[in-house]
Amino acid sequence: MGRARRSLLIPSLICAISLLLTLHNASCFYLPGVAPEDFQKGDLLSVKVNKLTSTKTQLPYSFYSVPFCRPENIIDSRENLGEVLRGDRIENSPFTFKMREPEMCHVVCRLVLDDKTAKEFKEKIEDEYRVNMILDNLPLVVPVRRLEQEAPPAYQQGVYIGVKGQYAGSKDEKHFIHNHLTFTVKYHKDLQTDLARIVGFEVMPFSVKHEYDGKWADNTRLTTCDPHAKRTVSNSNSPQEVEANQEIIFTYDVEFQESDVKWASRWDAYLLMADDQIHWFSIVNSLMIVLFLSGMVAMIMLRTLYRDISKYNELETQEEAQEETGWKLVHSDVFRPPSNSDLLCVYVGTGVQFFGMMLVTMMFAVLGFLSPSNRGGLMTAMLLLWVFMGLFAGYSASRLYKMFKGTEWKRIALRTAFLFPATVFVIFFVLNALIWGQKSSGAVPFGTMFALVFLWFGISVPLVFVGSYIGFRKPTIEDPVQTNKIPRQIPEQAWYMNPIFSVLIGGILPFGAVFIELFFILTSIWLNQFYYLFGFLFIVFVILIVTCAEITIVLCYFQLCSEDYLWWWRSYLTSGSSALYLFLYATFYFFTKLDITKPVSGILYFGYMLIASYAFFVLTGTIGFYACFWFTRLIYSSVKID
Of 11-20, 98-107, 408-417, 506-515, which gets the smallest average pLDDT? 11-20
Q: How confident is the model at residue 401, as a pLDDT?
A: 93
Under 8 Å between Cβ of 408 and 415: no
Q: How many CA atoms lie within 13 A of 307 on its CB side?
A: 5
Q: How confident is the model at residue 14, as a pLDDT?
A: 30
Long-range CB contacts (< 8 A, 24+ apart) of 284-291? 286/512, 286/513, 286/516, 286/540, 286/543, 287/539, 287/540, 287/543, 290/509, 290/512, 290/513, 290/543, 290/546, 290/547, 291/543
Q: What digits encode the pLDDT tens for the residues 158-198?
A: 899 999 888 777 778 889 999 899 999 999 988 788 789 99
The pTM score is 0.84
| Residues above pLDDT 70, as percent of the chain | 85
Residue 272 pLDDT grade (very low, low, confident, very high; cuts 50, 70, 90)? low
Give the DSSP H/E element, type plus range, for residue 160: strand 159-160
CA-to-CA separations, 19 to 533, 539, 555, in angstroms, rounded: 11, 13, 37
Q: What digits encode the pLDDT tens for the residues 444-473?
A: 888 888 889 999 999 999 999 999 999 999
pLDDT at 591 over 70: yes
CA-to-CA separations, 137 to 48, 197, 265, 374, in angstroms, rounded: 9, 12, 14, 9
More confident residue, 133 or 534: 133
Q: How confident is the model at residue 238, as a pLDDT?
A: 84
Under 8 Å between Cβ of 421 and 455: no
Query: In the predicted model, what is the mean pLDDT of the chain?
Result: 82
CA 221, 225, 226, 229 dihedral sign is: positive
Q: How confident is the model at residue 254, as a pLDDT?
A: 93
| Residues above pLDDT 90, as percent of the chain | 32
What is the β-pairing status of strands 130-135 and 138-139? antiparallel
- Looking at mean pLDDT, say which of 40-44, 229-233, 484-488, 529-533 comes out highest: 40-44
Q: How confident is the model at residue 610, as a pLDDT?
A: 96
Q: What digits encode the pLDDT tens for the residues 67-90?
A: 898 888 888 887 777 778 877 888
Q: How confident is the model at residue 13, as a pLDDT?
A: 29
> What 8-state DSSP symbol labels residue 309?
H
pLDDT at 537 over 70: yes
Q: Which of 161, 179, 160 is nearest to 238 (CA)?
A: 179
